[in-house]
Structure 1
Amino acid sequence: MPTTATFKLAQWVFAMAAISLLIIQVAGSRCENNGPSVRQVQVGFGKLPQFMVEIKNNCPMCPVTEIHVRCANLSQNLVDPRMLKVLRFDDCVVNGGLPLAPMQKLSFNYTHQKFQLMPKTWNFQCE
């Protein structure tokens, strides 16, 4: 027959599990409107312009993984594939799909006419 201590422990474990689930759901919903962003700034003005690209996880609570970016016909030889890997036309993955911590930025440069880069899909780890 369960003792009072065992019953109280089971209640405590259940309560902690419920609180943890609630925190994860609240954190995930807070991130829905804070998806990753891509910012480009022209930093070189030669015959071929140079652009600095900054990709940022805008969620203050959760890491974001598998960030895919629309990248048109970007050539892989313009960018280190550890930063941005071309998978196919108009689909590039950031950081090899590995997480960007909350509010973390990743940046790289490329020299070419400007590509329209924008977030396509991603996953928050806290959801």
Structure 2
Amino acid sequence: MVGRGCSKEDIRIYEGQVDPLPSGIPSYSVDIVNMCGNEYDDCNIEDIHVHCGWFSSVRLINPKVFRRIEYDDCLVNDGQALSSGTVISFQYANTYSYPLSVSSVHCLHL
């Protein structure tokens, strides 16, 4: 079987509410997963950008994990590659959640 390459659909974002901060501000957990690859194919995906509106968080997020570059453009993993099956996780706190979706990726072929 020949590898099919990858696309932005191979990056999945799972978001859910977690316990609020002691101040009562709602908190959310985010997992960003590289689902690309199978027994015949392996792929690394880098330069993952996410639609994120005016994303901000009361809880500090390591900017190498996830950061807003400009309106509706957040960068995952400091632009570094996520290998197949890798999960990047973080939590943020804000009055409301941000609907996150992948806007673009760059596929590395092994």
2:97 to 111, 114, 118: 114
Instruction: Describe the shift of the 1:119–1:49 C-alpha distance in structure 2 as closer, same or farther (beyond 3 A).
Output: same
| Equivalent-residue separation in structure 2 for 1:33 and 1:99 (angstroms) | 13
Aligned pair partner of 1:98 in 80, 87, 105: 80
Distance across 1 between alignment mates of 2:27 and 2:57: 16
Q: Determine which structure has more spread, i.e. the larger CA radius of gyration.
A: 1
5+ residue gaps, structure 2: none
Q: CA RMSD in A?
A: 2.2
- Once residues 67 and 32 of structure 1 are traced to their aligned partners in structure 2, the CA distance between those partners, rounded to angstroms, is 11
SS at match of 1:96: helix
In structure 1, give the amino acid aligned to 2:12: S
TM-score norm. by structure 1 comes to 0.71
- Give the paired residue count: 102
Amino acid at match of 2:35: N
Deviation at 1:77, TM superposition (A): 6.2
TM-score of the pair, normalised by structure 2:
0.81
Misfit runs of 4+, over 4 Å: none
Deviations 1:1-57 (A, max 9, x none): xxxxxxxxxxxxxxxxxxxxxx8xx32x25348520111011114632111100001
C-alpha distance 109-34 of structure 1, shift in aligned 2 (>3 A):
same
Identity %: 26
- Are the counterparts in 2 of residues 76 and 85 from structure 1 also a CA contact under 8 Å? no
Which one has more relative contact order, counting CA pairs under 8 Å at least 6 apart? 2
Corresponding residue number in structure 2 for 1:126 = 109
For structure 1, the residue ranges without an aligned partner over 5 or more in a row are: 1-22
Matched ranges for 1:75-94 at <5 A = 75=56, 78=59, 79-94=61-76
- Structure 2 match to 1:49: 26
Amino acid at match of 2:72: D
- Establish whether residue 71 from structure 1 lines up as the match of residue 71 from structure 2: no
The answer to whether the aligner puts 1:39 opposite 2:21 as a matched pair is no
Partners of 1:70 and 1:110 in 2: CA distance:
16
